A and B are shown apart, each in its own frame.
Chain A
Amino acid sequence: MLERLWPSRRIPLAWLLLSRQPGRLAVALAGIAFAGILMFLQLGFRDGLFDASVTIHKLFDADLVLLSPRTMSSIAMAGFPRRRLVQVMGDPDVVGTTPVHWNFLLWRNPQTRTTRSILALGFEPSDPLFTDPALAPKAQVLSQQGRVLFDELSRPEFGPIAQWYRQGRTIDTEVAGKRVRVAGLVSLGPSFGADGNLLTSRETYLSLLPNTPPGSIELGLIRLRPGADSAAVAKRLKQKLPGDVAIFSKQGFVEFEKNYWRSSTAIGFIFSLGAAMGFVVGCVIVYQILHSDVSDHLPEYATLMAMGHPLPRLLGVVAREGLLLALFGYVPAWLAGQALYYLVRTGTKLPVVMDGPRALLVFAMVLIMCLGSALMAMRKLGDADPAEIF
């Protein structure tokens, strides 16, 4: 029995104050849930964007990466001389390199005939590009001029390529105004920067972009001997190579890209601000609810004080009201968050999932929001003068 386990139990005043005014409770919970949903959505977008911006980056088969120092991000890759990769091969720890061309080209949707920008990577089909071994056999077909591999996870605006390909249709379309044929599918995933991806051979790439300066590439992949100290090699290469290349570890390359979106664009700030707005809106709503609740019940609180109930016990009632609002408001916010993440995933193909840290973060924010507002509302309780009630 509850009575036996918890003999010092008192009337659950906080719960009764809330539940006996269902209209006000519903408004409060809707407000808190709304604030929670806003935070979930904004933080989800933000983290999803940062994760999505490096979908491709994570796939490369490389220990070290060469970029042009003028490169700021994957959507604006500058070129550097391909010779640098040959120079890198001189290091005893380097076992292989892959030069990669990287640019955005216009893809014509073969169904609607409209064009759209797609990320094209050009590489030597015999060189390793991704860690995924499934690519190598598919890459064989690229040695034929005018063949491309299409990313089946690309946004649907590029046309029903994957579907047609599986049906066995021959898909001819235009990239950068030149005729190409889809010779296979790969599974990479879109990012905020690129709605879709295609892979092609260096030769085809150069024919699509004839103005590419000779011997210029955008990305150099470097593979090291197993057991080599990549930091030491990077340091050594940095000393040896001239200033027209920048060297990164693979993780550094991923962080470099994320950092671009986080700091060099307004996007990270906008979504963080959006989440902060949700927090502030929630605070205002909860404070308003609790403040008017305390104001409405001020004579009753004063009566309880006159009866001899100590002030801290009454402050505890307000705090528990805040706690209950946080708990009850978070549940619908979490459920709606799951549903919205599902919609975002299917609608944008961005990797937005309800992960533990974010669920906890939002819960902590909701808790701070409700308890902080309760703390503010408690000041009003100080106005309750038991001498005024006679």
Chain B
Amino acid sequence: MTAAVAPILPGSGIAAAPTLAVQDLCHWYGSGANRRQVLDRVSLTIRPGEVVLLTGPSGCGKTTLLTLVGALRQVMEGSVRLFDEELNGASRATRQRLRCSIGMIFQGHNLLRCLTAEQNVQMGADLLPGLGYRARRDCSREWLRKVGLGDQLDKLPHDLSGGQKQRVAIARALAAEPRLLLADEPTAALDSRTGREVVELLRGLARGQGCSVLMVTHDPRILDVADRLVRMEDGRLSEGLFQDPGPTGSVG
């Protein structure tokens, strides 16, 4: 089954079911003569707590893969098992429910302009079921503190720097306690030092939560934060070389 194609990670042992198991995923855009294949029999497995970086030239289908894995798009062919639920043929409601357990970080920060940093993070915390208003608010403050913005609670996105906005976005994604974090070039709009800080923060916090990360990036300077590198070209995946000896080596 899916476990057969999953690479055995050094040190990971026999963990629970994989967070994400993609098998023979194909996707096309357009129809008729204009039909163009963007994903060709893609298979990928991500285990709980694993940080996977996806690289490749632009237009190779990385973002399409993210939207399919993120339950934002209907799967056409192949299998995507997310938290042990099949996405192929899943209803709108199922996909929306699954999305509550996926954190998303975008190229742009995509913060709500009319909300303060704290309120933006709370839009993520509001997805948590069964928590009172105050608990969710305290949770938002806690996350902002963890990303180092404990003193910027009442700032509007407009008044924050690019790096700060991206950190608010990270806090917002993590406040919903996701099991999988999808990030699309989170460092694209940041300078190299800030980018590095943001990515390391992201990895540290995700690890702390036992949350898996799938990150698309072009930035060669941050490849070393990954447990595993995957390269995509012309809609096909190839398992990249291990940047580092193992997850233990990349921490810190």
Contacts and interface: CB of A to CB of B under 8 A. Distances in A.
Nearest to A5: B133
A390 B102 CA distance: 14
Interface stretch (A16-24, A82-90, A135-143, A151-159): A16-24
B72 A387 contact: yes
Nearest to B122: A11
Contact of A7 (B96, B115, B123, B133): B133
Contact of A300 (B112, B132, B172): B112
B35 interface: no
A390 B62 CA distance: 10
B73 interface: yes
Nearest to B109: A303
- Name the interface size band of chain B: 35 or more
A215 interface: no
Contact of B100 (A297, A303, A308): A308
A16 B107 CA distance: 25
A305 to B, nearest CB: 8
Nearest to A6: B133
Interface in A2-35: 2-3, 6-11, 13, 16-17, 20-21
A390 B99 contact: no
Contacts of B72: 306, 386-387, 390
A386 B110 CA distance: 12
B127 A390 contact: no
Given A16-B119, A386-B72, A390-B106, A307 B114 contact: no
A309 interface: yes
Contacts of B184: 390
Nearest to A386: B72
Contact of A308 (B99, B115, B122): B99
A375 interface: no
B110 A8 contact: no
Interface string B48-88: 00000000000000010011001011000000000000000
Interface of B: 63, 66-67, 70, 72-73, 96-102, 104, 106-107, 110, 112-115, 119, 122-124, 126-127, 132-134, 137, 156, 172-173, 176, 184
12 contacts: A7-B132, A9-B133, A11-B119, A13-B114, A17-B114, A300-B112, A306-B72, A308-B101, A310-B96, A389-B106, A389-B110, A390-B67
